């Protein structure tokens, strides 16, 4: 894995030109193009089992829920989308890696951009890196591997809901396992968290992550109740999903969560790399089983 490549993706997503990646903004639309092109470059294909003919899964979000730096009408809707690509397996059972790419836009008082480096450019960079590594292997998995970058999450979990509804409508609720990635470059911690919601169907995923962490020499800590991530939305649809993050020492508060200080310079590159390695190996082993 190439941590420098990962950090370049973090720099791009958290940069001034992305203006905080607010859902419905021109910057978000440009980012959707970038992410779609990247998945295509890696040789992934659209998830046609979910009725998609390209890498976009469109949905709408109320404009007043978004972090736009303009006036919105009460009944206004903006276009958003998830970006999905897959490595087709021998079966249509799915292992899905998810991370949200949207952000909080600009601070309304200061006009400063919320960079969102750790939340959640780190997760996006990890999904892209996992896709780059696994798509380069000369082996097809047994289960289909899906790489899903979610839009509209910071304004109310719309991307996770759209993906959940598509999985349910197409009969995949019992045939998909999700590993959600957030906050993979936090603080000065030295272990990886897995939040499993105390949900029995997540046990297979937790075992795969535990085995991968042991193989990589990474300490894994299991948490129960979800701390407010996309996995909580998937859980509402009874879709097995866990969230992985890198630890921070002050467990009650992430040092830069949803703050203007969440910049690439404060990323824990070692934690980002270790967590991405563990998640990628776990996803591959789940897909091969």
Those residues with Cβ within 8 angstroms of residue 129's Cβ, 6 or more apart along the chain or in another chain: 1, 2, 5, 6, 9, 276, 280
Q: Position of tokens 């990474």?
A: 218
Q: Which whole number is the average pLDDT over 261-286?
A: 97
Q: Which whole number is the average pLDDT over 42-51?
A: 98
Q: Residue 240 CA to chain centroid, in angstroms?
A: 15
Q: What is the pLDDT of residue 255?
A: 83
- Which tens digit of pLDDT belongs to each residue from 211-265? 999 999 999 999 988 888 999 999 999 999 999 999 876 556 788 999 999 999 9
Nearest to 121 by CA among 154, 78, 166, 160: 154
Q: What is the pLDDT of residue 250?
A: 57
pLDDT of 33 > 70? The answer is: yes
Count how many residues are written for the chain.
Answer: 289
Q: What is the pLDDT of residue 248?
A: 77
Which residues face 84 on adjacent strands?
A: 148
pLDDT of 186 > 70? The answer is: yes
Domains identified in the chain, total number: 1
Judge contact between 163 and 231, C-beta under 8 A. no
Q: Which whole number is the average pLDDT over 179-204?
A: 93
Q: What is the pLDDT of residue 249?
A: 61
Mean pLDDT over each residue of the chain, to the nearest integer? 95
pLDDT of 14 > 60? The answer is: yes
Q: What is the pTM of this model?
A: 0.97
- Our separate counts of H helices and E strands in the chain read 7, 8
Q: Which whole number is the average pLDDT over 170-178?
A: 96
Judge contact between 118 and 131, C-beta under 8 A. no
Q: How far is CA 276 from CA 22, 24, 181, 212, 218, in A?
A: 25, 29, 9, 11, 11
Percent of all residues in the chain with a pLDDT value above 70, rounded to a whole number:
99
Q: What is the pLDDT of residue 191?
A: 93
pLDDT of 85 > 80? The answer is: yes
- What CATH code is carried by the domain that includes residue 13? 3.40.630.10
Q: What is the pLDDT of residue 251?
A: 58
Judge contact between 213 and 201, C-beta under 8 A. no
| Domain span holding position 249 | 3-288
Q: Distance between CA 148 and CA 156 in Å, rounded?
A: 17
Q: Which whole number is the average pLDDT over 198-218?
A: 97
The tokens of 240 are what? 């097995």
């Amino acid at each position: 894995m190439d941590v420098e490549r990962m950090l370049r993706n973090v720099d791009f997503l958290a940069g001034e030109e992305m203006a905080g990646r607010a859902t419905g903004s021109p910057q978000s639309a440009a980012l959707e193009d970038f992410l779609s092109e990247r998945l295509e470059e890696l040789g992934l294909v659209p998830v046609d089992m979910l009725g998609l003919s390209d890498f976009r899964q469109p949905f709408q979000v109320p404009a007043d829920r978004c972090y736009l730096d303009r006036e919105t009408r009460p009944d206004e809707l903006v276009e958003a989308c998830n970006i999905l690509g897959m490595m087709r397996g021998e079966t249509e059972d799915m292992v899905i890696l998810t991370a949200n790419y949207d952000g909080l836009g600009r601070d309304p008082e200061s006009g400063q951009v919320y960079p969102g480096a750790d939340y959640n450019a780190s997760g996006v960079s990890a999904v892209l890196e996992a896709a780059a590594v696994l798509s380069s292997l000369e082996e097809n998995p047994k289960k289909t591997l899906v790489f899903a970058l979610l839009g509209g999450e910071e304004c109310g979990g719309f991307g996770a809901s759209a993906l959940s509804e598509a999985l349910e409508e197409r009969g995949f609720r019992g045939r998909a396992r999700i590993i959600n990635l957030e906050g993979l470059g936090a603080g000065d911690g030295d272990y990886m968290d897995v939040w499993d919601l105390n949900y029995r169907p997540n046990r297979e995923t937790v075992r795969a992550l535990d085995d991968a962490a042991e193989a990589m020499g990474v300490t894994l800590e299991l948490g129960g109740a979800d701390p407010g991530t996309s996995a909580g939305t998937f859980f509402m649809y009874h879709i097995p999903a866990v969230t992985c993050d890198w630890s921070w020492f002050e467990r009650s508060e992430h040092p830069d969560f949803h703050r203007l200080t969440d910049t690439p310079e404060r990323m824990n590159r070692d934690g980002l790399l270790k967590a991405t390695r563990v998640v990628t190996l776990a996803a591959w082993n789940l897909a091969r089983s």
